[in-house]
Amino acid sequence: MPRKGGAQVARRGVPKDWPQGVVYLPSPLYSKRLSPDTIKTLIFPKSDLPTREGALTTRGPYSNVKITPITDPTHPANGQYGLVACQHLLPDSFILPYIGYVHDKADTDEQSDYDLSLDRDLSLGVDASKMGNEARFINDYRGVSTGPNAEFRDTFVDLGNGNVEKRVGVFVMCAGKSGKKAKGILQGQEILVSYGKGFWTERLKVQE
Ligand SMILES: C[S@@+](CC[C@H](N)C(=O)[O-])C[C@H]1O[C@@H](n2cnc3c(N)ncnc32)[C@H](O)[C@@H]1O
């Protein structure tokens, strides 16, 4: 947050507590390495969308979530940030897209802890380490809760110009049969996903 005379100055169009040095992106930034054909697999006419798929209309900053410093010493990410619900989020509902730098395999930052798969067949990822939106602050549930309350899903966003764009969306988990997740995510609760065991195995290898 930029400071002027000691006071915090909010940056227009940027969420509160957004870190200095990371660019806030309302929509993805594409690597210049990506070919036009690859981009066409991500951005294409709405009429080409399979009929069962709907397209979302969405743009940040997001008022349904809040970037929150973690100050609980028992939280494994204490001292970092997490993303907290500002309102009750219903089961199966869309929360926000995961925005970042869209890149191919050759352009992957192996050190990034913010890189998600966008298209496995084309080995495309979306990396929010240097630029992204609020979704980059979503922590893994391990050591925090008994399970995730949200998940990443492929989704399509209506760009408003006749085209849709494939993105990774963050959704509240479905209610499920057991009824444990029937409440969704309550206001004030941290949004937690599963990064997958692979993420943590890789991190352990780095530490060795
Ligand atoms: C995508 S970032 C999440 C946001 C991060 N907490 C921040 O403030 O920028 C992933 C990093 O958050 C931390 N993290 C997330 N979930 C965690 C967990 N359950 N236990 C320990 N560290 C976690 C790890 O440092 C991990 O590399």
Question: Residue 197 falls within a domain, yes or no?
Answer: no
The protein residue with its alpha carbon nearest to ligand 1, atom 4, reads 137
In a domain, 8, yes or no: no
Higher pLDDT, 138 or 4: 138
Report the separation in Å between the CA atom of 77 and the middle of ligand 1, taken as the mean of its atom positions.
Answer: 6
Name the pLDDT band for 5 (thresholds 50, 70, 90): very low
Kindly state whether residue 26 falls inside one of the protein's structural domains.
yes
Q: How far apart are CA 32 and CA 90, in angstroms?
A: 38
* Domain tally, the chain: 1
Could you tell me if residue 199 is inside a domain? no
Q: Give me ligand 1 centre to Cα 82, in Å.
A: 8
pLDDT digits (tens, 9 = 90+) for 111-139: 999 999 999 999 999 999 999 999 999 99
Percent of the chain beyond pLDDT 90?
Answer: 80
Question: Would you state the pLDDT for residue 9?
Answer: 54
Over residues 77-99, the mean pLDDT reads 98
Query: Average pLDDT, stretch 94-104?
Result: 98
Cα of 62 vs centre of ligand 1, distance in Å, is 20
- In CATH, what number is assigned to the domain containing residue 26? 2.170.270.10
For ligand 1, mutation pick of 139, 201, 204 (most atoms within 8 Å of CB): 139
Give the residue, by CA position, lying nearest to ligand 1 atom 24: 77
User: Which domain covers residue 171, as residue numbers?
Assistant: 13-189
Q: Which atom belonging to ligand 1 lies closest to the Cα atom of 19?
A: 9
Encode pLDDT of 7-65 as tens digits: 445 577 899 989 999 999 999 999 999 999 999 999 999 999 987 888 999 999 999 99
Provide the pLDDT for residue 177: 76
Residue nearest to atom 13 of ligand 1 (CA): 77
How sure is the predictor about 208, in pLDDT bands with cuts at 50, 70 and 90? low
> Contact at 8 Å (CB) between 100 and 25?
yes
Q: What is the mean pLDDT of residues 153-161?
A: 97
What is the whole-number distance in angstroms between the Cα of residue 199 and the centre of ligand 1? Answer: 11
Q: Is the complex ipTM higher than 0.85?
A: yes
**Tell me, what's the pLDDT at 206?**
60
Pick the atom of ligand 1 nearest to 195's CA.
16
Average pLDDT over residues 67-93: 97
Q: Is residue 129 part of a domain?
A: yes
Low-confidence winner among 3-7, 52-56, 90-94, 182-186 (lowest mean pLDDT): 3-7
Residue ranges lining ligand 1, Cβ < 6 Å: 76-77, 80-82, 113-114, 136-137, 139-140, 142-144
Q: Is residue 196 part of a domain?
A: no
Q: Would residue 44 count as lying in a domain? A: yes
* pLDDT at 6 exceeding the cut of 50: no
In this structure, the residue with its CA closest to atom 9 of ligand 1 is 137
Q: Is residue 130 part of a domain?
A: yes
| Per-residue pLDDT at 207 | 61
Place of tokens 């005379």: 5
